[in-house]
Chain A
Amino acid sequence: MSVPGSELLVCPHCDALHRSVVLGKHETAVCIECGHTLARHRSFTVDQLLAVTVAAALCFLIGNAYPLMTIDLAGMHTEATVWSAALLLLHGWTTLPGVVLAVSMFLLPLLQIALLLWVLIFARMQRRAPGLRAALVALHRSRPWSMSEVFLLGALVAIVKLSSWLHVVPGIGLWALLSLTILLTILSLVESRFWWSLVEASA
């Protein structure tokens, strides 16, 4: 059903048709109708993206294994991780925010990293990953709901808020979460055209 050999690009925001052009360094393609940025010059290789994804996976592991912050008070000790914060809301009548927190700050970032590893490892072996199309659609669909950067800002606000009357110690988990946010942001810069070119390359 697709149009063979089409070098056409559609603006997703206004449906205008454009002819694809090759972009030079620092160039961006902007829709003349609605102003949407259609494409940027990018030169990622599969190896580079795989390296970033592996680093993100490690940061995710560390960020969830070690506390984000701890408080020691009068011989008592408390600590918080992404999962313990979500778990606290999960039981009782705060199930809805608990589920939203667990899904958007833990499960979906995990799913995204796992899917990226799956897709990129096969791409590096120059093979088509089983379920590649489903994986790419899942990556596309889950993106708006994956929000570890919001958790990072929330953790910083909580630290500043509590440290006015308690001694809060930032943990290793917080640094891992910060690194994870940066790495996931880098990965989100990769345009969908790059991912879908993997389907065509191996078709």
Chain B
Amino acid sequence: MSSPIRTLTVGLVACRACGLLSRRVPDTQPTYCSRCDTRLHERMPGSAEKTLAWLIAAVILYIPSNVLPVMYVSGIGGGQESTILGGILSFWRGGDWPIALVIFIASVAVPATKFLAIGLIVLTLFRESDWARRQRTALYRLVEFIGYWSMLDVVVVALTSALLQFEGIGAAEPRLGIVFFCGVVVATMISALSLDPRLIWDMGRNSEH
């Protein structure tokens, strides 16, 4: 099966917001979609650079988010600070393995998968590789799909702190780690949203057309 025609080669450009096709105009003069008024770009400007910048920010924030405690719980026998990994481990040891698994997937597996997947896609874009386009696009869809599930731990800490307010018996407070962790989630989301998957299909095409 031969490759289908792509919009750029026939002088068209598709709107990122509503999908309407417009005639391609040189990028020097700004043009807007006639249906939804969104600024038209052949490709999202600076996509790979922005994606990489936000990804680096996320990886840097990931370190304090795991080292610093995310929550402080005080009980009758004194107080204890816990990190994300520490929380998962205590659930696991306590026999609550389904909860340990849910938190592990949302807080560790999802961010790690996003780092690796976005990192791989961006690196191959900078190398102008035409390797495994279909698979890399599928990887992009995975990143899009798992998107915001890492916010789970922020919700759990907020709800636990709102509920556990029994002075002297049991009280919970958020700790600095949760701020960094929230930063990781926001940075990876902006990183994924900055990525224009069509770039994967632009690479190595110059010789073909």
Contacts and interface: CB of A to CB of B under 8 A. Distances in A.
Contact of A80 (B3, B106, B153, B162): B162
Nearest to B149: A150
Contact of B36 (A71, A86, A136, A193): A136
Please tell me the size bucket of the interface on A: 35 or more
Contacts of B159: 68-69, 80, 85, 154-155, 158
Contact of A151 (B96, B155, B162): B155
Interface in B117-135: 133-134
Interface in A17-67: 17-18, 32-36
Interface string B175-209: 01011011101100100010001101110000000
Nearest to B144: A144
A89 interface: yes
Interface of B: 1, 3-8, 10, 12, 14, 16-23, 25, 31, 33-38, 91, 94, 96, 99, 102-103, 106, 133-134, 137-138, 140-141, 147-149, 151-156, 158-166, 169-170, 174, 176, 178-179, 181-183, 185-186, 189, 193, 197-198, 200-202
Interface of A: 1-3, 6, 8-10, 12-18, 32-36, 68-69, 71, 73-74, 76, 78-80, 84-86, 88-89, 93-94, 96-98, 100-101, 104-105, 133-134, 136-137, 140-141, 144-145, 147, 150-151, 153-155, 157-158, 160-162, 164-166, 168, 192-193, 196, 199-200
